Structure 1
């Protein structure tokens, strides 16, 4: 497999404040990673560091072998990083369909395929972004990222605050993206067992450092270790 992303001894944070220390990982094309840990350990910071929104104090980030250190956020998106932030960022002045078409880039994902993946969005295509339920907004946030035709999808707490039936729908979608579409995905998720059930590999952060790295299946099967690392009840 071709290496897609590599982090080498990354130290990063906000201004002079350091959040991530000595973080190294790599992903191949089509790989999937569960990024786990308690609240405040640096999971979201790792995603926004990939998007160029933190201060990089040290280390290297490579995308398909090229450095991302000095690449602007919009250029990273154009290069193939798709980000679904926890806040979702719906635009009240845009319809569902406008949210999708305004960011569209050439590739396999288009309106027809998005509406097949999320039939509810087609039903709501004329609604404004702020007229959607929380679950529908999350669907739209994921769909909008897909319309940029990314090679790596970054999902920050995609299940947070959603009804169980919506969670089931999103899990189905994420599993399809990984197993059928071959899209590389990083999932930050408080529901650790759910994230592990969808991914191939897992990393656990604590105080900005990697304290566990291995297969998702192995960690899912090792309840004692999982409970100790992420305080799963």
Structure 2
């Protein structure tokens, strides 16, 4: 598989503050990666760095063999980076369908396919974004990223604060995207075992550095190491 994304010795943060320190990894087309670690170690910062929302102090970020470390966010989105932020960012003045159509780009993901994957959104297509439950907002946030037809989907804490039945529903959707659609995915998730069960590879951050890299299955099978690295209860 061709290399889609490669970070080489990337240091980044906010202003002069350095959060990520010498991060290097690569992702191939169709690959899936769980990005794990305790709170405050730089996981979300890594995702927003990929989207161009931090100050890069050093290193390169290569996307399809082009260095995008200084490329603005909108150009990264047009190039195929899709982002589902932890905050979801629903617009109270837009309906569900307007949330989707306003950002739609040509490709296999269209309204009909998204409504098939998320039938709740079709039922609520005329509702405003702030009239949805937390789980429905998360579905809409994922659908909104998908309708841009990304080559890589970045998911920041997609299961946070959701009821177990909604978590199960979203897990089925993400498994479909990764296993059947072949979409490249990086997922940040505090529920480490959920993220590992979805993905092929895993990296663990601590204090802005990668301290562990392995297959997801091997880390899932090693409860002692998993507990030591991410403090899983």
TM-score computed with the length of structure 1 as normaliser: 1.00
Give CA deviations for 1:120-144 in whole Å, capped at 9, x if unaligned: 0000000000000000000000000
The number of residues matched between the two structures is: 233
In structure 1, the residue matched to 2:19 is 19
Gapped runs of 5+ residues in structure 2? none
- Structural mapping, 1:13-162, within 5 Å: 13-162=13-162
Give CA deviations for 1:116-174 in whole Å, capped at 9, x if unaligned: 00000000000000000000000000000000000000000000000000000000000
- Separation (CA, whole Å) in 1 of partners of 2:27 and 2:129: 33
- Structural mapping, 1:201-220, within 5 Å: 201-220=201-220
Measure how far apart 1:69 and its partner are. Answer: 1.5
- Separation (CA, whole Å) in 2 of partners of 1:35 and 1:170: 18
- Runs (4+) of structure 1 exceeding 2 A deviation are none
TM-score computed with the length of structure 2 as normaliser: 1.00
- Separation (CA, whole Å) in 2 of partners of 1:159 and 1:209: 24
Measure how far apart 1:70 and its partner are. Answer: 1.8
3-state SS, counterpart of residue 187 of structure 1: strand
- Separation (CA, whole Å) in 2 of partners of 1:89 and 1:225: 35
Measure how far apart 1:19 and its partner are. Answer: 0.2
Measure how far apart 1:113 and its partner are. Answer: 0.2
